[in-house]
Amino acid sequence: SNDTRYAINLSQHADKAGADALLVVTPYYNKCTQKGLIKHFTSIADNVNVPIILYDVPSRTGVGIKPETYAVLAEHPRIAAVKEASGNISQVAETMSLCGDKLTFYSGNDDQVIPLMSLGAQGVISVLSNIMPQQTHDMCQLFFDGKVAEAAKKQIEYIPLIQALFCEVNPIPVKVALRLMGFNMGPLRMPLCEMEDAHLEQLKTAMRKFNLIK
């Protein structure tokens, strides 16, 4: 939420319901300062008993977490990890340098999994894995097994499908993709709407390449 009090309420509800961890996005629209981000995330972490994963996705929220801000937040015992979707690999490297082993990093972009893992990220919180879970796992496992060139080859191979999954705003394409695969996903809820015909064909073409649909 972009309302800290409400975010705390939601987080406590998830904590009591048995959540193993919380994925907490930067407050959207209000676009608070870095000081505000520190207060927001710290307030949530102070009021729950489970680990928190910070979610940095400025393209969707309008505000990003700076490396120096990460360094402050990393000192909190319940702020454990980061889903990093800024797309700025140089900034991620700087953040890792400042935080050391105090934060675990995950790619938030399916097209940057192996590049971020090469810097020390531990995997990906993924859209692609909704339709290709085994392949997404195997790509990461290749890297962990030291087969970096093979992992990078898979990363590049999957780029057309990843691009198709983001040809319109997430989660429209991935929900449509799962529907095409036979899963009962139900309708999209407004303001999300059905894909444009050209984008739908792009998605179908990419899915056929990986035998996800006929």
pLDDT in tens, the chain (214 residues): 999 999 999 999 999 999 999 999 999 998 899 999 999 999 999 999 999 999 999 999 999 999 999 999 999 999 999 999 999 999 999 999 999 999 999 999 999 999 999 999 999 999 999 999 999 999 999 999 999 999 999 999 999 999 999 999 999 999 999 999 999 999 999 999 999 999 999 999 999 999 999 9
Quick one: angle between helices 34-46 and 4-17, nearest 10?
30
Q: Is residue 140 part of a domain?
A: no
Q: Residue 191, preceding bond cis, omega within 30 degrees? A: yes
Catalytic residue among 28, 29, 55, 66: 55
Q: Are residues 212 and 164 in the same domain?
A: yes
Q: Is residue 132 part of a domain?
A: no
β-sheet bridge partners, residue 124: 107
**This prediction's pTM:** 0.92
Would you give the DSSP letter of residue 137?
H
Structural domain that includes position 153 = 149-214
pLDDT reported for residue 73: 98
Q: Alpha-carbon distance 188 to 47, whole Å?
A: 34
Q: Are residues 153 and 64 in the same domain?
A: no
What CATH number is associated with residue 110? 3.20.20.70
Q: Are residues 171 and 118 in the same domain?
A: no
- Closest by CA to 25, choosing from 74, 84, 67, is 84
Q: Are residues 72 and 165 in the same domain?
A: no
Q: Is residue 206 part of a domain?
A: yes
Which residue, 61, 90, 125, sits at the end of a domain?
A: 125
Contact 41, 68 (CB under 8 A): no
Q: Are residues 34 and 121 in the same domain?
A: yes
Q: Is residue 205 part of a domain?
A: yes
Q: Is residue 191 part of a domain?
A: yes
pLDDT reported for residue 30: 87
Task: Give me the number of domains the chain comprises.
Answer: 2
Question: Is 175 known to be catalytic?
Answer: no
Measured at the alpha carbon of residue 9, what is the angle toward residues 129 and 61, in degrees to the nearest 5? 50
β-sheet bridge partners, residue 52: 22, 79
> Residues with Cβ < 8 Å from 168, sequence gap 6 or more?
195, 196, 199
Q: Is residue 33 part of a domain?
A: yes
Which residue, 93, 125, 157, sits at the end of a domain?
A: 125
Cα distances from 52 to residues 36, 110, 135, in angstroms, run: 17, 21, 27
Phi, psi of 22 (to 5 degrees): -120, 135
Question: Is 83 known to be catalytic?
Answer: yes
Catalytic residue among 83, 106, 154, 175: 83
* Residues counted in the chain: 214
CB atoms within 10 A of CB 87: 16
Q: Is residue 91 part of a domain?
A: yes
Collapse the DSSP code of 85 into the 3-class scheme (helix H, G, I; strand E, B; otherwise coil) and give the result: coil
Q: Are residues 102 and 194 in the same domain?
A: no
pLDDT reported for residue 31: 87
Q: Are residues 105 and 5 in the same domain?
A: yes
Q: Alpha-carbon distance 46 to 176, whole Å?
A: 39
pLDDT reported for residue 138: 98
Q: Are residues 33 and 90 in the same domain?
A: yes
Would you give the DSSP letter of residue 94?
H
Q: Is residue 85 part of a domain?
A: yes
Would you give the DSSP letter of residue 121?
-
